Amino acid sequence: MTAMQRRPRRLRTGPAMRRLVREVRPQPAQLVLPVFVREGLTVSRPIDSLPGVSQHALETLPQVIEDAVEAGVGGVMLFAIPETRDATGSQACEPEGILNIAIECAVEAAAGRLVVMADLCLDEFTDHGHCGVLTDDGSVDNDATLELYARMGVAQARAGADVLGLSGMMDGQVAAVRAALDREGFIDTSILAYSAKYASAAYGPFREAVESQLDGDRKTYQMDPANRREGSVEANIDEAEGADFLMVKPALPYLDVLADVAAASAVPVAAYHVSGEYSQIEAAAERGWIDRRAAHVEAVTSIVRAGGDIVLTYAAIEVARWLKEDS
């Protein structure tokens, strides 16, 4: 038998060796926890399709923030569910609207210890469930929606949000919101652009979480899952318009897009391990088919390996604790 000069298994001989040569090391500070706040609740309400995740009341939100801080999580992304909705999502811009009050509550609880992000989109606030206002024929009016996004962005900045998560996929949304923020003096409020957001089948549990009113789909503004290059086109536009972060969503089916965007971007890149991806792990683990902890850590690791600087995941607090234990 001829001698083998290269034996890659030498670097896998035990936990200490594997830890020493590990190429990718996700950190708790890279994680962002999505948080749902529902108007009218006084206690948390579990979400059936998102095991371990709840709609929160304003009264319970500070404890969520404290748990995230204790775990070392880098930020939270706030979503809100109002009691009343209308065609233009007017509650999104009201200073006393549930999302803006939740921002104030989270900022106070965080006290600068983590980054408070807020979802900037109309879908949770409209009675038709679309991410913008509709024309007479039922299509989404891109430019009329931009005016509302600008107002919503200023309202969120006034409430104290550190980062605005522009998730609506309207053309020109970053430029419109950036101009409005700067005009009102909010030059330090950052924009996270959901640049490559695909019309995915994996958003179902999220829609239950926000009690979505959507009838139909969002394929005229969210991206076709078959398109890779278009993700870079969208990201380049958003960066040029002034986005401070870029996003690819969902994460795992689009790691190729994430890698493309990360390779070209001069700003940090985030990826969202979305509700359907999270719930698949939870459902399989509940049946004993997979190791829950290992699966969540592997998912986050793969996202970081592909180029994600920031990972949004519903398992953020647990993953942060696991990463600390494994370090």
Cα torsion at 214, 217, 223, 225 (round to 10°)? 120
In a domain, 102, yes or no: yes
Cα torsion at 267, 314, 87, 166 (round to 10°)? 0
219 tagged catalytic? no
CA distance 37 to 54: 9
In a domain, 10, yes or no: no
* Catalytic entry in 128, 130, 249, 273: 249
Model pLDDT, residue 140: 94
Phi, psi angle pair for 223, to nearest 5° = -80, 155
In a domain, 12, yes or no: no
* Catalytic entry in 38, 56, 197, 296: 197
In a domain, 13, yes or no: no
Structural domain span for residue 159? 24-326
- The tokens of 221 are what? 């503004």
In a domain, 86, yes or no: yes
In a domain, 85, yes or no: yes
Cβ contact 253:201 at 8 Å: no
In a domain, 19, yes or no: no
CA distance 147 to 173: 9
Cβ contact 56:101 at 8 Å: no
Asked if omega into 46 is within 30° of 0 (cis), the reply is no
Q: Which of 117, 64, 77, 68 lies closest to 316 in space, CA to CA?
A: 68
Model pLDDT, residue 20: 95
| Residue 181's CATH number | 3.20.20.70
249 tagged catalytic? yes
CA distance 108 to 308: 28
pLDDT along the chain (327 residues), means of 10: 84 95 97 97 95 96 98 98 94 96 98 98 93 93 97 98 97 98 98 97 91 87 97 98 98 98 98 98 98 98 98 98 91
Cβ contact 32:74 at 8 Å: yes
In a domain, 2, yes or no: no
Q: How many domains does the chain have?
A: 1
Q: Measured in whole angstroms, how far is the alpha carbon of residue 150 from the centre of its chain?
A: 20
Model pLDDT, residue 1: 60
CA distance 76 to 212: 21
Cβ contact 146:173 at 8 Å: yes
